[in-house]
Amino acid sequence: MLRKAGRFADGDGEVRDAFGRRINYLRISVTDRCNLRCYYCMPEGDVPLIQREDWLTFEEITEVARAAAGLGFDKIRLTGGEPLLRSNLVGLVAMLGRVRGLRDLSMTTNGLLLDKYALPLAEAGLHRVNISLDSVDPEVYREKTRGGDFKRAVKGIRAAQAAGFRRIKLNCVVEWSSEEPDAREVASFAERVGLEVRFIRRMNLAAGEFWVVDGGAGGDCARCNRLRLSCEGLVRPCLFSDVGFNVRELGARAALVQAIEAKPESGEQCVTSTFSQIGG
Ligand code: SF4
């Protein structure tokens, strides 16, 4: 049963799930397309892709964001696939920037297109970015991303620093721990360039394997504050679950409320989707 702590008009209340957790953070996947094939996210071969015509329009995404803000949500993160592959993403950021009640608008990207978009995104109202960087060895980087160009990622990081975002973090996926050689090198790189780094232990959706993110809140079910919106319009209560509520069928607010009511105490497994479809 959804517990209310105040009247819900224009974000002047907050919402809690059945376990008393405040839910105020919406991760929005704007596309399932990506210009990389990271070994821990996407299979090597063809990936079943969501039809473009099924993607939510920017107006629909903004409507969900407004409904979420009306329920007391104040944080939104744009994800993908690779969000910068969605054309005119700067336009969506500007639309979301006008949603009353939102105090934190961020994005997770692989950074390859940031040299082109960092400044326009910051000017449109994006506050923070997380940039994936699993190695500073160009060959290892190419291997882990199945073809990525390390130099382009670094160019993107520099452009983000020049754009003046409130905060920039590096996301580094590790097999076991931040003590792995690649992780230690990413940590020293981050220190050299004055950035924070988070270590994300490799997860497995189908096997239900996940851990608390080192340097973040992801994977910490007891403190979970998030919902996810997939690019075709499913509000998902949990990353490690197959449950989703369709905003086009139910309406934005009802889909959000039902997702909060269905939020599990902790994640189990997800066998119907990939990270690139849910947005990690
Ligand atoms: S597994 Fe589910 S409940 Fe746990 S932190 Fe992730 S999204 Fe939240």
Is 7 a residue whose pLDDT tops 70?
no
Q: How far is the CA of 233 from the centre of ligand 1 (A)?
A: 19
Task: Give the residue, out of 24, 224, 229, with the most ligand 1 atoms within 8 A of its beta carbon, to mutate for a pocket test.
Answer: 224
Q: Whose CA is nearest to atom 6 of ligand 1?
A: 219
Residue type, 71: L
Is 5 a residue whose pLDDT tops 70?
no
Q: Whose CA is nearest to atom 1 of ligand 1?
A: 267
What pLDDT, on a 0 to 100 scale, did the predictor assign at position 177? Answer: 93
| From 53-57, 217-221, 268-272, the region with the lowest mean pLDDT | 217-221
Q: Which of 167, 173, 265 is nearest to 213 (CA)?
A: 173
pTM for the model stands at 0.94
pLDDT digits (tens, 9 = 90+) for 176-191: 999 999 999 999 999 9
What pLDDT, on a 0 to 100 scale, did the predictor assign at position 218? Answer: 85
Q: How far is the CA of 224 from the centre of ligand 1 (A)?
A: 6
Minimum-distance ligand 1 atom for the alpha carbon of 267:
1
* Percent of the chain at pLDDT exceeding 90: 88
Q: How many domains does the chain have?
A: 1
| From 4-18, 34-48, 144-158, the region with the lowest mean pLDDT | 4-18
Minimum-distance ligand 1 atom for the alpha carbon of 240:
1
Q: What is the mean pLDDT of the chain?
A: 93
What pLDDT, on a 0 to 100 scale, did the predictor assign at position 237? Answer: 98
Q: How far is the CA of 48 from the centre of ligand 1 (A)?
A: 25
Q: Which of 227, 260, 256, 229 is nearest to 70 (CA)?
A: 256
What pLDDT, on a 0 to 100 scale, did the predictor assign at position 213? Answer: 87
Is 89 a residue whose pLDDT tops 70?
yes
Question: What six digits make up the tokens of 271?
Answer: 């066998």
What pLDDT, on a 0 to 100 scale, did the predictor assign at position 183? Answer: 97
What pLDDT, on a 0 to 100 scale, did the predictor assign at position 164? Answer: 94
Task: Give the residue, out of 24, 26, 266, 278, with the most ligand 1 atoms within 8 A of its beta carbon, to mutate for a pocket test.
Answer: 266
Q: Write down how long the chain is.
A: 280
Q: What is the DSSP string of 85-115?
A: GSTTHHHHHHHHHTSTT--EEEEEE-STTHH
What pLDDT, on a 0 to 100 scale, did the predictor assign at position 216? Answer: 77
Q: Whose CA is nearest to atom 7 of ligand 1?
A: 238
C-alpha to C-alpha distance for 263 and 15, rounded to whole angstroms: 12
Is 39 a residue whose pLDDT tops 80?
yes
Q: How far is the CA of 271 from the centre of ligand 1 (A)?
A: 15
Minimum-distance ligand 1 atom for the alpha carbon of 266:
3
Is 119 a residue whose pLDDT tops 70?
yes
Domain around 59: 3-278
Minimum-distance ligand 1 atom for the alpha carbon of 220:
5
Average confidence (pLDDT) over 57-75: 98
CATH code where residue 189 lies? 3.20.20.70
Query: Any residues with Cβ below 6 Å from ligand 1, and which?
Result: 210, 219-221, 224, 226, 238-240, 266-267
What pLDDT, on a 0 to 100 scale, did the predictor assign at position 44? Answer: 75
Minimum-distance ligand 1 atom for the alpha carbon of 264:
3
* pLDDT greater at residue 218 or residue 76: 76
Question: What six digits make up the tokens of 53?
Answer: 């015509």
Residue 1: pLDDT band (50, 70, 90) is very low
Q: How far is the CA of 240 from the centre of ligand 1 (A)?
A: 7
Q: What is the DSSP string of the chain?
A: -PEEES--STT-SEEE-TTS-B--EEEEE--S--S---TTTS-SS--PPPPGGGSPPHHHHHHHHHHHHHTT--EEEEESS-GGGSTTHHHHHHHHHTSTT--EEEEEE-STTHHHHHHHHHHHT--EEEEE-S-SSHHHHHHHTTS--HHHHHHHHHHHHHHT-SEEEEEEEESS-TTSHHHHHHHHHHHHHT-EEEEEE--BTTTTB----BTS-TT-GGG--EEEE-TTSEEES-TT----EEHHHH-HHHHHHHHHHT--SS-----S--HHHHT-
Question: What six digits make up the tokens of 222?
Answer: 């007891």
Q: How far is the CA of 152 from the centre of ligand 1 (A)?
A: 32
Q: Distance between terminal CA atoms of the chain?
A: 27
- Give me the half-sphere count of Cα atoms (radius 13 Å) on the Cβ side of residue 222: 2
Is 3 a residue whose pLDDT tops 50?
no
| From 7-11, 34-38, 49-53, the region with the lowest mean pLDDT | 7-11
Is 66 a residue whose pLDDT tops 60?
yes
